[in-house]
Chain A
Amino acid sequence: MSATAVAATTDEAVAGVEDGSTVLVGGFGLAGMPFDLIDALIRQGAGDLTVVSNNAGNGDVGLAALLQAGRVRKVICSFPRQSDSYVFDALYRAGRVELEVVPQGTLAERMRAAGAGIGAFYCPVGVGTPLAEGKETRRIDGRVHVLEYPIKGDVALISAHRADTLGNLVYRRTARNFGPVMATAAGTVIAQVTEIVPAGEIDPETVITPGIYVDRLVRAEARRFTVQGAR
């Protein structure tokens, strides 16, 4: 990919996202959720989106706000139902959003495969369950596996902790989650970070996502949202 561009605003960072895009959205619950990029995407106006994320929104912020704005046609995720997923739950029950449930590790690996140029892979997860129905299977080393295809995004919106001007990313604690995987798996990768430092100021040994994967960077303040009712 070409060099990472540092955007002045989140609106500039999400410019050009087209209707009908597949958008990978980082985060696990609210940890690692790219709140500011999603708010900018709502202002930008792209609709009819397929969103790939672990959950389907918490409370009224982040992915839930995008859903509430009516921009999402389909959600591909592992765990939509949570203590505070009332926005998604209502849309789903009203038949206003499609849902594809994917086992969490398979979701991650399908994106990893997309980013790594793997055509498909056999995975033992889900065998004998409704989530494997209709999929090709093969017995390998005595165990049945199902064939899983990559998930590639047109756009990925992720959140990291720090970046340098070349787009090298460092994450913080469990907010890392899907970020490094999604960063490899989309045509345009957009990262929001709390700090952008000159190249050379991040120890190369600690870089988690190398800048080759990151197209656009923008600085945004850390939020301190936690999931309400989590137990």
Chain B
Amino acid sequence: MTTIPTAERAERGPLSTDELAARIARDIPPGSYVNLGIGQPTRIAEHLAADAGIVLHTENGMLGMGPAAQGDAVDPDLTNAGKVPVTELPGAAYFHHADSFAMMRGGHLDVCVLGAFQVSQHGDLANWHTGDPDAVPAVGGAMDLAVGARRVLVMMKLFARDGAPKLVPACTYPLTGAGCVSLVYTDHGVFEPGPDGVRVRETYGITVAELRERVSVDLLD
């Protein structure tokens, strides 16, 4: 197995949300069928090349989803998974919920990008419930996507607001899926979880040595 050397970019700051969205967009192959999770991942759509032939799937029954609808174009019958009014692109298709999720589980969806509370070094994903007894648990389509999409990419900040790393040896929050994450894109770097630990592909605003100080996962050399 060949090892790709880590691209360390400590001299620049961490990626902004827009830069991170653009970074992920660059890794989505032309012609892919893609589901962007609610919240920050929806911003990746703004960075997909118009001529790349990438088709967006939304879990509530549509392929060929276009940008958010503005003004008179708002149609209450046409929303994305976050219930935001959206538009349809030429060649769009509508289908019911059982079909929409058959597309996921059946392995027809090439890529999904999800937010996360935590990702473990083995690629376990926690993104639906903090376990707080006062929180109202809500899973939506996250478990179906985590299991079904051929590649599951995570878009998140590397550190929570309190400074705690979100890339962890083992998730302390309830899991969404086990061993399902292919790559983790964060403001401080791109990480590849695996059975032996995490390979650091790129860093932003931090060195690998500093990462070893701040995260407690096994970082592979």
Contact = CB atoms under 8 A, between A and B. Distances in A.
Interface in B122-159: 124, 129, 134-144, 147-148
Q: Interface centre among A124, A173, A179, A181, by most B CB within 10 Å?
A: A173
Nearest to A33: B76
Nearest to A181: B98
A176 B63 CA distance: 13
B79 A28 contact: yes
Contacts of B178: 127-129
Contact of B83 (A104, A105, A106, A227): A227
Contacts of A103: 139, 141-144
Contacts of B144: 103-106, 125
B8 interface: no
Interface in B97-136: 97-98, 100-102, 104-105, 124, 129, 134-136
B31 interface: no
A31 B79 contact: yes
A174 B79 contact: yes
Contact of B76 (A81, A130, A177, A224): A224
Interface string A140-173: 0000000000000000000000000000000111
Nearest to B104: A105
B66 interface: no
Nearest to A161: B77
Interface stretch (B53-61, B160-168, B189-197, B210-218): B53-61
Chain B: interface size category: 35 or more
B138 A31 contact: no
Given A123-B105, A230-B83, A176 B136 contact: no
Chain A interface residue count: which class? Answer: 35 or more
Nearest to A27: B60
Contact of B97 (A80, A88, A104, A226): A104
B12 interface: no
Nearest to B62: A174
A120 interface: no
A93 B135 CA distance: 9
25 contacts: A28-B97, A31-B60, A78-B138, A78-B139, A81-B135, A81-B138, A101-B137, A103-B141, A103-B142, A104-B140, A104-B141, A104-B144, A124-B105, A125-B147, A128-B177, A129-B176, A173-B62, A174-B61, A174-B79, A176-B61, A177-B97, A180-B98, A181-B98, A224-B76, A226-B83
The 7 closest A-B pairs by CB, nearest first: A105-B101, A128-B178, A105-B144, A29-B83, A227-B83, A81-B138, A175-B77
